[in-house]
Structure 1
C-alpha cells in the first residue's frame, strides 16, 4: 500500500514537471517566432524604402504587401501548431495519470491535477489566440496603409509591432508564472496529504506528534525544491522577455536610421548627397 502511494505520487510529480516544461518551451518558441516575424517585417519595410528610391513604386508596394502577408501566415501557423502540440501532450499525460491510478488502485486526487492541466491549457490557448488575431489584424492594417505611403508608415509599423510584441510577451509570461504557481500549490497540498497518510500507516496512528513533526520537515524540503524550480523558470522567462525587448529596440533604432537615410535620399538630389 505504502509503495503504491509513493509510486503514484512520483508519477504525478513527474507529470507536473513535464507539463510545466512543455508550457514554458511552447511559450518561448512562440515568443521567438513572433520576434523573428517582427524583425522580418521591419527588414522588409526597410528594404522596400531603400528599393523605392530606384524602382517603380507600384511594384515595390506590391512586394511589401505580399511579404508582410506571408510573414503573418507563417507566424499564425507556428502558433497554431505549437498550441495543438501542447494540447496533445497534456491530454496524453492526463491519460497516463489515469492509467497509473487505475493500475495501482489508489488515488491522491488526480482529478484536481487534471483540472489544473485543463485550466492551464485553456488559458494559454485563449491568450495565444486573442493576441495572435490582434497581431495579424494590426499587421494587415499596416500593410494596407503602406500601399498608400511607405516612408510615413515605417514609424507606424515599428510602434504597432513594438506594442503588440510587448503585450503578447508579457501576457504569455504572466500566464506561465500563474500556471506554475497554481500547479506548485496543488503539488504541495498533495505531497503533504500523502506524507501524512504514509506516516500514519507506518506509525499506525499511535504517535500523532511524531507524525506531524516528520510531515512538517518533509514538507519544508518539498517546498524548498519546488521554490527552486519556480525561481529557475521565472529567471528563464525574464531572460526571454529581455532578449525580445532588446531585439525589438535594436530593430527600431536601425529602422529609424535607415528611414532617415531614405528620406534624405528622396528629398536631396543625388548630386548633393555626401553618402
Structure 2
C-alpha cells in the first residue's frame, strides 16, 4: 500500500487523540489521588484532635467527681446533717457548671478546627489545580509541537517522493488546522475535567468533614450527659450513705445512753432498797433490845 500525505495526516490525528486521552486520564487520576489523600488526612486530624479533647474532658470531669465526693464525705462527717442539703446543691451546681464550661470549650475547639481544616483544604486544592493545569498545558504544547514537526517532516518527505506538490500544500494547511483545533480542544477538556473533579471532590470533603463533626459532637454530648448523670448519682448515693451512717451512729449512741441510764437507775434503786432494809432492820433490833 502506497504511503500518501492524507494517510500520514490520518495516522497523526489518531496519535494526537490517543495522547489527549492519556493526558486527561493521568490528570484526573492525579487530582483524584491528591484529593483522596487530603480527605483522609483531614478526617484523621479532626478525629485525633476531637478524641484528645474528649479524653481531657472525661479526665477532668472524673477528677472533679472524685474531689467533690471527698469534700461531701468530709463535710457531712464533720458537720453531720446541718449543711447536707446546702452541700449537695453546691456540689451539683459546681459539677454542672464545670461540665457546661468544658462542653462549650470543646465545641469552640471543634468549630475552630473545622474552619482551619476547610481553609487548608481550599489552599491545597487551589495549589494542586494550578500545578496540574500548568503541567497539562506544558505537556500538551510539547506534544503538539513534536507532532507538528513530525507531520511536517513526514509530509515533506512523502510529497518529495510522490511528487504531489499541490497535495502537499493542502495537507500542510489541513495539518495546521487539525493541530490548532486539537490544542484548543485539549486545553478546554482538561480545564473542564479538572474543574469538575475539583468541585465534586470539594463537595465530598465538605460532606465527610460535616459528618465526622456531627458524629463527634453527638458522641461528646452523650458522654457528657452520661458523666453528669453518674456524678449526680454518685454524689446522691454518697450523701445518702453518709447520712444513714450518721443516723445509725446517732441511734446507737442514744441506745447506749438509754441503757446506761437504765442500768444506773436500777443500781441506785437497788442500793436505796438495800439501805432502807438495813436501816429498818437495825431500828427494829434496837427497839426490841
Q: Which category describes the TM-score, using the shorter chain as reference length?
A: 0.3 to 0.5
TM-score by length of 1: 0.46
Normalising by the residue count of structure 2, what TM-score does the alignment of the two structures yield?
Answer: 0.44
The structure with the largest alpha-carbon Rg is 2
The structure with higher relative contact order (CA 8 Å, sep 6+) is 2
